[in-house]
Structure formats: structure tokens, C-alpha cells
Amino acid sequence: MKTAPTTPQKGPVPPGDSSSWDPSWVDEVLLAGPGAGVCLDFGAPVSRDELRRQVRQRQAALAAAGLRAGGSAALCLAPSLALVANLLAAWRIGAQVALLDHRLTPFETERALGRLETQVVVSAEPVRGGPARGYYDQRDSPRARSGSPARTPHALVQLSSGSTGPSKIIGRTAADLVAELGRYAVIDGVPRAGERIVSMASMVHVLGLVGGLLHSLHAGVRLAFPRRATGEGILDAVAAGPEPTTLLGVPFHIELLTWVAHPPRLPQLTGMTTGGELVRAQVHEAFTDRYGVRLGSMYGMTEVGVIATDLFGEHRPEVAPAPGLVVRESGGELLIATGSSPYLGPADPTRWSDGWLHTRDGGTVDHDTGRVRVLGRLDSQVSVGGLKVDLTEVEHTLAALPEVAAAVVVHGSSIEAYVVLHEPGATAAAAVEAGLASRLAAYKRPRLLHFVDRLPRTATGKLVRDQAVLRATERSTHRPSDR
């Protein structure tokens, strides 16, 4: 059943000065509410009073490490209560916070920290191997580093698609986040107070961060995470509470759920909202047939958050713009009206100009209904298991290895690389595999390495990326052992 739209809660709008924006928005917009009420569940319920205590504790630790209002911090933590508490604590201090994915290698993390130049870093022991989990119990530790205070008014800093090479550094102000929470508050189908979200979406990316964590804290929704990141584990998390429950994840998680042979009866499950790449029609049908609940779509970007939705699956493959956002199509590309560039550093006119954000997504806008049809990426960014990967980053990293003379990275059913070695042979191939393992997170690495004598080029000298042409050059194929 559709829920009636509610009036957004009002919160302070911080001024645009990075050294003086009012951090009271954290208490008023995110931490307000009855103290005994449960707001989070990491295997055990966390009340608002307990969350406030955890935030105060982390705030003291961050201050002891040198973090001040107008300062900068980076969080390198797995999904955990520690991640939530440190994020809110740093914002409560009035600092700018950068979020880094815990799955990055030490090489990638150091490269990212070098670009961000944060003053304080909060990290923990690396997550051990084994079955994937939805959350962890982390012993976090802040440490000072020789960085710089925040240079912009942004409260949140994120890397768009990785931590090296062509990834973009994106900033969002506290006012941006409050405005997005206002959009969530009036979108029909978004969970409301007294309901529950079981989230599989990463909290360092926009869907899991704003659509999961911040919206839940703001709206009084109980946010839970599965102990095991499997189809059965997700369903166990749903069964653990009686509240009407919405799943939040990406198409990869939908596929996990469709693989469950005999799902239990779950009357509290009301539906699922998915973001990320487009959901294939057969996957959508398999899920709705298996569970008998709605499967809604949400289109968004790190730069602006939620852009358009169809949370009841009524208009697939179209989505309706979120309240207050203007979307138009130009030359086959979707553009979003934004008052300023979200990118840190000089504005790139190919990404933002004259008040319009260039999404690099192909799409159309229906002139009669205003609904948007997203057709997919126009650039090299792809999605692997719901995680964004920039093929240019992978290609640059591969080409930089000492054993590699040239390389092309493409994506079909998986990421594949065509590689020319300086000295062909098994030893060099093994060195390439080891080099990639130390420089790229597992989900970014090519599943197949094709070793070739040469790479085809156009008449003007550009590398050919047509996979049919590339396959004709193949000499040997190597499947990395860590797969």
C-alpha cells in the first residue's frame, strides 16, 4: 500500500563558510528523538541514547587527535557502529569528512589520502577474509597526519569511482544533505517512522549513506544490517523484526535473493528499493514473482543524491524526478540543474557548466509526464556487483606495471584486459597478476587477462576497443588465481 507523503522535518541550513557552518544540524536533524527508541541494529539494537553516547566518545577521541571545527578527516572503516559514530562525531565538531571504502588496498588508500590531504584518519584492523558480512565489530583508532584544513564548505567528501587516476573528488555541503533528506521525506514509498530498512548498500556511497543511514536517523526508521551478505542472511535480517520492512540494495543483491531456493514466509517484507545500474527485466520479474512484493528503482548520483524514483515499479523503465529537482535531456545526455559545481578543484566544463550537471548518462525525458528513462553510462564507468568501477582507472593501473608494454581494458559480461608484455612468459604473467592484486580492490580486477603480441590501432593511432577485433589478436588467456 502506498504511504501518504509527510512534511519534511525542518533543520538548520548551515552557512557556506567551511570554518563556521553550524554543526548543530547533526543534533537537530540526525540525533533528535526519544532516547530509548532503537535507531540502528548491528546484530544488537542500538538506542538513540546509546548512539549519542558513542558519538560523544568518538568526538572526544577525534578532538584529542587534533580535529577542530573547519578541519578535515577521512574514515577508512567497514560497515559498523564505529563508522556511524565517527561520521556523526566529526560532523558534530564541524569538520569536513571524506569516506573511503574499506575494501580498497593499502596502495589505493594511501593514494586517496594523498589527494585528500586530510588532517585526521580513522581506521581499524583490515577485515579478515571469509564469508562476506553486512557489518563488523571494529576497534577504530584516529591518528593525526600532516594534512590541511577543509578548503571548501563541504561537510562530506567522496570519491566517485575509485581512489586513483581519473576518479573525481565530490563535495556536498550540510545544506545539500538536509535538502536531500527533505526530498526523501516527500517521496511516496520511502519508509517512515515505525518502519524498518534492512540495508545491503554501502554506507560510504550515496544510496546507503543518505537513503539508508541519514534518512533512517532523520525519519525515525529502524536501520538494520544483515550479519551475512547472502540471500539467506538478508532474509534472516528481515525475519528478526516485526516492523514493516523495506530492503535497500543494488541489482546484485536482488540476484542473491532470487537464488534462495525456498524463501520463508515474511509478512513484514513490504518491498525493495534498488539503486545502481539498471535492473534487467528478467531479474525484476524473478524477484517479484518469488517474493510477491514491490521492487522499486532509484536513480541517483554521488554529486546530487537521489534524482528520480519509481518505488512501486509502476512506470518501469521510467522514473519520476524527485521533488525540487529539474532534469532535462541534451544531445542524448541527462542533465541536472545544480546551483554550483560539486567537484573540488577547478570546475570542469565538461561535467558542470551554466548551472547544469552533466551526468554522462544517456537518457530521455518525456515531455508530457516529465518521467525520465535512463539508458546507461556514456563513459567508461561500469558496475560490478553494484560497485562502481572506472575502466580507465583499471587500464592506467595495469599499463603502469613494469612488465606491461600496453593494455586495453573492456567490459562485456565481466572486466577483461588485453595485455602486451615486454617479455612474454609465465613469470611476467604472474607478476602482472600480483601487481594488480596489490594495487586494485578485488572487484576492480579483470577476470580475464588476454596476453597478445600487439594491440590493434586505428589509422590515427588510437587503440581499438571493439571486443571482436581484440579477440582476434589473442595469444593466450590467463584467469587470475584469486578468482
Q: Mean per-residue pLDDT for 405-418?
A: 90
Q: What gap in Å lies between CA 254 and CA 241, rounded to an integer?
A: 21
Range 381-407 burial, b when 16+ CB lie within 10 A, else e? bbbbebbbbbbbbbbebbbebebbebb
Beta bridge partners of 306: 300
The backbone region for 189, taken as left when phi is positive above 0, alpha when psi lies in -120 to 50, beta otherwise, is left
| Domains in the chain: boundaries | 18-172, 382-478
Cβ atoms of residues 1 and 69 within 8 Å = no
Cα–Cα nearest to 210, from 99, 76, 102: 99
What does the pLDDT look like over 43-75, one tens digit per residue? 999 999 999 999 999 999 999 999 999 999 999
Range 310-343 burial, b when 16+ CB lie within 10 A, else e? bbbbebbebbbbbeebebebeeeebbbebeebbb
Q: Mean per-residue pLDDT for 411-424?
A: 91
Q: Mean per-residue pLDDT for 354-381?
A: 88
Cell of residue 338, nine digits: 545544480
What does the pLDDT look like over 126-146, one tens digit per residue? 888 777 899 999 999 999 999
CATH of region 18-172, choose from 3.30.470.20, 3.40.50.980, 3.40.47.10, 3.40.630.40: 3.40.50.980
Superfamily of domain 382-478: ANL, C-terminal domain (3.30.300.30)
Q: Residue 258: its pLDDT value, please?
A: 92
If DSSP codes are grouped into helix, strand and coil, which group holds residue 177?
helix
Q: What does pTM read for this prediction?
A: 0.83
What does the pLDDT look like over 220-274, one tens digit per residue? 999 999 999 999 999 999 999 999 999 999 888 998 999 899 999 999 999 999 9
Q: What gap in Å lies between CA 126 and CA 137, rounded to an integer?
A: 11
Output the DSSP codes for 2-19: PPPP-PPPP-----S-TT
Q: What gap in Å lies between CA 141 and CA 127, rounded to an integer?
A: 15
Q: Residue 386: its pLDDT value, please?
A: 82
pLDDT at 312 over 70: yes
Residue for grid cell 586517496: 112
Beta bridge partners of 295: 272
pLDDT category of residue 371 using cuts at 50, 70 and 90: very high
Q: What gap in Å lies between CA 132 and CA 274, rounded to an integer?
A: 20
What letter would DSSP give residue 212? I
pLDDT category of residue 466 using cuts at 50, 70 and 90: confident
Q: Mean per-residue pLDDT for 9-13?
A: 38
What contacts 360, CB < 8 A, 6 or more positions away?
Answer: 333, 351, 377, 378, 379, 381
Q: Residue 379: its pLDDT value, please?
A: 67
Beta bridge partners of 404: 421
